[in-house]
Amino acid sequence: MIAYQNYKFSFVTLLVSMILLNSCDNCRNATKSDRLKQTPKGKEEFLDNEPEIPTKNKGIINIGNSCYMNSVIQILASFYQKPFEKKKETPLAKAANDIINAITDKEEVTPAEIRKKATDFFNALKKPEQEGGIDWKPKCGSQEDAAELIGKIFDWLDMPKAETNYKLIHPTTHAERWKTGTDLWSIWQLPMEKNQVKNMQTLFDNSLPSGNPIDINWTGHDANDVTATEIPRLKNLNQLYGKMLIISPKRFEFDNTDNTASKKTASKITTKITAPFTLTIKKEQTADLSQDLLYELVGFIRHSGDVGGGHYVTYTQVDSKWILYDDSSVSEVPVGQIQSPAEQAYLFFYKQVP
């Protein structure tokens, strides 16, 4: 009887151990993809949408007109590492992960090795889409656009986008309805005017006007159109990766010198944007939120020079300290000296404050 009980106990113990071991394997498999999950269709999604925590990275040698790319790489390494894991088997994602790992102290590498990995990433970007690239074509002899490059990389990564919806208000009944169709965006464009210094909050609020007149057939069978009020409203801000908000001031303007679309002269708007370190999006400016959203500036890209040429550098906030990435040079910027470059930023990166 005692032998039977011991056998029974041993069998139960073995069974429980196998169950626990299997559970541990499942846990390891779940964490191996670093907070990714499998959907029923096999697509990977992030379990949460928390912002990534940036570190102080290494610099990247300029390989020739590549300061814009170096600035973008520093931003990707600081705030957008994990999206590349969804496509880690592709040549472009592999090249991106290689350079990101090289500059984020995950590997012991020399400046020459970093340069090679940056070159490999640049070459991977230039490959046609059918070969896994984004068909990036460097503009020889002109200034490259860091914002355009980030936008194309985000599209390739299938990054979630926010929306701009439009609410329509009837001129006499004041009835409300939503306009069919939405504008999708991953970078919010901010209109700028020369010689009109404004703070970030005012500029952002002005980019969402209180109402534009629009002629529309309200009921579908009216004899005449009505002039309704069209009000833009933001949607799905919380679905942006890491709840990060990217704002791009329109610092370049085009003057049509002879009233033709073919001949235009471009100029850069160097007007300062004051108080850029915080931003509030009011719930009334959204289509789907019941409370305001508060953002704080955690990074920005600055462009010095003019339309024909110039230089890009990146600033990111690491442990409450501001770090400047100027190609291969990496330095800490005193808090008292960060205001001026931030006011001239070309791309702003905001993190949502809980």
At 82-106, the pLDDT tens digits run 999 889 889 999 999 999 999 998 7
- Is there a contact between 160 and 240 (Cβ–Cβ < 8 Å)? yes
- The full set of domain ranges for the chain reads 55-159
pLDDT at position 8, please? 45
H/E/C letters for each residue in 152-179?
A: HHHHHCCCCCEEEEEEEECCCCCCEEEC
Q: Is 40 helix (H, G, I), strand (E, B) or coil?
A: coil
- Is there a contact between 19 and 49 (Cβ–Cβ < 8 Å)? no
Q: Is 327 helix (H, G, I), strand (E, B) or coil?
A: coil
Q: Compute the Cα dihedral for 7, 12, 15, 20 and give only its sign.
A: negative
**Distance between CA atoms of residues 38 and 54, nearest Å:** 26
Q: Whole-model pTM?
A: 0.81
pLDDT at position 300, please? 98
**Distance between CA atoms of residues 121 and 98, nearest Å:** 8
Q: Which residues of the chain are under the pLDDT cut of 70?
A: 1-48, 139-144, 210, 220-224, 254-265
pLDDT at position 222, please? 62
Spatial CB neighbours of 195, under 8 Å, sequence gap ≥ 6:
271
Q: 146: closest CA among 348, 6, 297? A: 348
